[in-house]
Amino acid sequence: MLRVGIFNDSFPPTIDGVANAAFNYASLIQKNHGEAIAATPRYPGVADDYPFLVYRYPSVPLGKRVGYRAGNPFSPKTIRTLRSFNMDIMHVHSPFASSLLVNRVNRKGNRAPVILTYHTKFEVDIKNRAPGRAMQNVMKRMVRRNIFSADEIWLVSNGAVESLRSFGYEGPYQVMENGCDFKRERAPESAIEKEKSELGLEQGQLVFLFVGRMMWYKNTKLIIDALEIAGREGLPFKMLFVGDGKDRKSIEQYVTGKGLAGEIEFLGAVYDRVRLHTLFCLADLFLFPSTYDTSGLVVKEAAAADCPSVLVNGSCAAEGVEDGFSGFLCEENKESLAKTILAASHSDERRIQIGHNAGEHVYLSWEKAVAKAYARYEEILSNWRE
């Protein structure tokens, strides 16, 4: 039984894809395999009540524009405490402060192997969030050092390798997909009908869904522009945007300017996972034309509800999705997306079958994903001790 350290710069109740991944690794390692210790920055007012240990260390806010807190990886007390846990494996999910902390914890005594999961296009994150070119260059150098300091690199999709290589890393890597914490099942019809009623959905109205941070780089404009075209073609629809983010206000203003405020509704962040699954179940299509994301975690969540996704051909989110069989693929422009939405909306029978195929072939449970990762931990440690 291994004692695994899970390190990340965010953790629930913070909501993002990487925080969700770190939580599921810790939760399922503790439940099914070994012992997990999660190390993450301290957030005011957060009390952890999990079956695994969560060690929160001092942090400072990064400002409203970023929306996160930065942990202090140089705290002597934090380093001493984490060393005392004698971890067998250190699995870090961020190449920023968490990686710096791991490197310091791992300097003395019996060094443990370090795995870094490269979750997202960090060069894009740095460009969007770091103020000024000088700071961006500092952060790029830090990411590069932390990539090279890891003993093994994991990617969540093959499509992320180009982003990884942009930091100069040409070494080997493993692909370890993220899973989905939803069971593959339909929500109770009573819950679906209640949600439809509360949202004021009309009979015969197709429901489209987006789940993610309200950021322009998620191609939210592409969705709105494509729906404007589809609406002109007479398609009756209701578009639901689920999520929050710094661009939400400007996205809402753009929708109003397009005259689509009656067809597009913003629900904000949905923290209730049962309700979120219900929203996936009532949706006819999941629209996710993002080319930023390195993993289609939300695509797997849609597949858990047998909801087919509309994705950009060649994007990481579309990896493993077969056009016309387990999803719908388009090119990255509003005309192609609109055409794909219209075609997918034409036949209920075909769309439902493709959604079923997504459930069979795209869905991956976190249990299976973490079991595969834990088996790799054991291989790494076996080779490490030889």
pLDDT digits (tens, 9 = 90+) for 321-346: 999 999 999 999 999 999 999 999 99
Same domain, 230 and 269: yes
Domain of 16 in residue numbering reads as 3-179+366-385
Q: How confident is the model at residue 204 (pLDDT cuts 50, 70, 90)?
A: confident
pLDDT of residue 92: 99
Contacts of 182 (CB under 8 A, 6+ apart): 273, 277, 280, 301, 304, 305
Whole-number Å distance between alpha carbons of 159 and 173: 12
The answer to whether the beta carbons of residues 239 and 210 sit under 8 Å apart is: yes
Mark whether 27 and 157 lie in a shared domain.
yes
- Domain count within the chain: 2
| Residues 254, 153 share a domain | no
pLDDT at 371: 98
pLDDT value at residue 222: 99
pLDDT in tens, 229-284: 999 999 999 999 999 999 999 999 999 999 999 999 999 999 899 999 999 999 99
Specify whether 321 is located in the same domain as 351: yes
pLDDT computed for residue 297 by the predictor: 86
Specify if 31 maps to a domain: yes
344 & 308 share domain: yes
Say if residue 148 is in the same domain as residue 45. yes
Q: Residue 70's pLDDT is what?
A: 87
CATH (domain of 302): 3.40.50.2000
90 and 197 in a single domain? The answer is: no
Q: What is the pLDDT of residue 263?
A: 98
Query: How many CB atoms are closer than 10 A to CB 88?
Result: 20
Average pLDDT, rounded, for the chain? 94
Is the peptide bond preceding residue 113 cis, with omega within 30 degrees of 0? no
Report the pLDDT averaged over residues 210-225. Answer: 96
CA–CA gap between residue 369 and residue 23 (Å, rounded) = 13
**Does residue 184 lie in a domain region?**
no
The rounded distance, in Å, linking the Cα atoms of 96 and 179 is 23
Based on the fold, state whether residues 132 and 229 are members of the same structural domain: no
Judge if 217 and 307 occupy the same domain.
Answer: yes
Q: Are residues 45 and 73 in the same domain?
A: yes
In a domain, residue 325? The reply is: yes
Domain match, 221 and 286 both: yes
Query: If you average pLDDT over residues 219-226, what whole number do you get?
Result: 99
